Structure 1
């Protein structure tokens, strides 16, 4: 199977308190995007990587991570726009593309084993596969006034991570559907197709706020 990865690196970094795009924020001497792409390239099955970056930073990101297996393209206004741009570029590079991984650059410490579990599931016939970890907190559903209206059974809940993996034709159909969603798996769900969950990993945390950056630095320094 021909496998490619879209790395979404178009976030503004506002919640991180940064004065530049999140992907360019320093993490122990290297920008987050460098850690993220390095982790993807460690996965031997991945043939091509497309990094979707803010249009104003294309040259800088290309200088940092561009190469034989890595192409940098401009992102869009929304996440779905950015993934669609990455998918179009990936299909130009790999006309025989069969499996696509969509990965958040902000989850730059995701272990290779997580990528491999997602790939194994899709290559085994799943339309889509996503990594997830069990939820340890009790979750409440509230209405607009803050009143609790439901308490879901915690054992059935998962906190979802990336990479999310898809059969290429499924992801193409999902993005052509015009449905809005916060992640690509939800687009596939809207088609009525099954999405399977494989074990995630605590190291695949998403760097969003300053505390997350501190945690990622500890992980790097501790080798965890």
Structure 2
């Protein structure tokens, strides 16, 4: 893979410190995907936002959460060394061909001394540390699976294959799910061990085991940057609210 400025070894202004605090949480960041909708030919997690890769923004915020003991990044295999330079406070492993494979690779690097595992999208680069803490606290209270969620605010309609509206769906019970998603380490290990097909959502894997998934309030800052427009919105948020950095 061709190197880009986004994976420069000049890390003076991009250093991500090793997390400190309660130290019972590992955060897995699958970052090996190409993210074709964002364009540019660079792995999505290494696309720059305000001069720094999305991955650096995401890991910096995660590292500020007091409960986090370690961050494990599943990087594009050809970029492992470059990602280690970008996030020196993190453990970096080669990712897989799918998100699920990347999460499994990162999970295998978590020691048995860690009780709680969160899975977080690098594309949610502005996720506040408080949300990381809220998810971790909910898992610590004994819940088997926890996801941040926001109410659906748009009107939702169900359509057929010809794009004809069949009905207007009641949006009251619907939620938009974000990350980080949190689990007891053993629960997530069991879910991945029993996976028979590919999932893009770890809570879905845990549901397959028969566990109840619980929600905590999400954050508007935890938007997922998947399209050029999302990158513009995130840039505007950083410009208008420099404290978000």
TM-score range, shorter chain: over 0.9
Correspondence for 2:206 among 169, 177, 188: 188
Tell me, yes or no, if structure 1 residue 34 matches structure 2 residue 56.
yes
Secondary structure (helix, strand or coil) at the match of 1:178 reads: coil
Q: Which residue of 2 aligns with 1:105?
A: 122
Summarize the Cα distance change of 1:141–1:21 in structure 2 as closer, same or farther, 3 Å threshold: same
Number of aligned pairs?
Answer: 219
CA drift of 1:2 comes to 2.2
Correspondence for 1:170 among 187, 192, 196: 187
Q: How does the TM-score come out when normalised to structure 1?
A: 0.93
Query: Structure 2: which 5+ runs fail to align?
Result: 1-22
> Are the equivalent residues in 1 in contact too, given 2:33–2:98 (CA < 8 A)?
no
RMSD: 1.4
Secondary structure (helix, strand or coil) at the match of 1:15 reads: helix
Q: Which residue of 1 aligns with 2:238?
A: 220
Q: Which residue of 2 aligns with 1:114?
A: 131
Q: Which residue of 2 aligns with 1:66?
A: 88
Q: Distance in 1 between matches of 2:169 and 2:240?
A: 36
CA drift of 1:17 comes to 1.4
Cα deviation code 1:139-163 (max 9, x no counterpart): 2233433344454320100000000
Secondary structure (helix, strand or coil) at the match of 1:44 reads: coil
Tell me, yes or no, if structure 1 residue 144 matches structure 2 residue 185.
no
Q: Which residue of 2 aligns with 1:4?
A: 26
Secondary structure (helix, strand or coil) at the match of 1:76 reads: coil
Tell me, yes or no, if structure 1 residue 154 matches structure 2 residue 176.
no
Q: Distance in 2 between matches of 1:143 and 1:192?
A: 31
Q: Distance in 2 between matches of 1:173 and 1:26?
A: 35
Cα deviation code 1:57-116 (max 9, x no counterpart): 11111111023xx111111111110100010012xxx22121000000000100111111
Tell me, yes or no, if structure 1 residue 51 matches structure 2 residue 73.
yes
Cα deviation code 1:122-154 (max 9, x no counterpart): 011100100010001122233433344454320
Q: Distance in 1 between matches of 2:220 and 2:65?
A: 19
Query: Structure 1: which 5+ runs fail to align?
Result: none
Secondary structure (helix, strand or coil) at the match of 2:104 reads: helix
Q: Which residue of 2 aligns with 1:82?
A: 102
Cα deviation code 1:41-66 (max 9, x no counterpart): 00111001101111111111111102
Q: How does the TM-score come out when normalised to structure 2?
A: 0.85
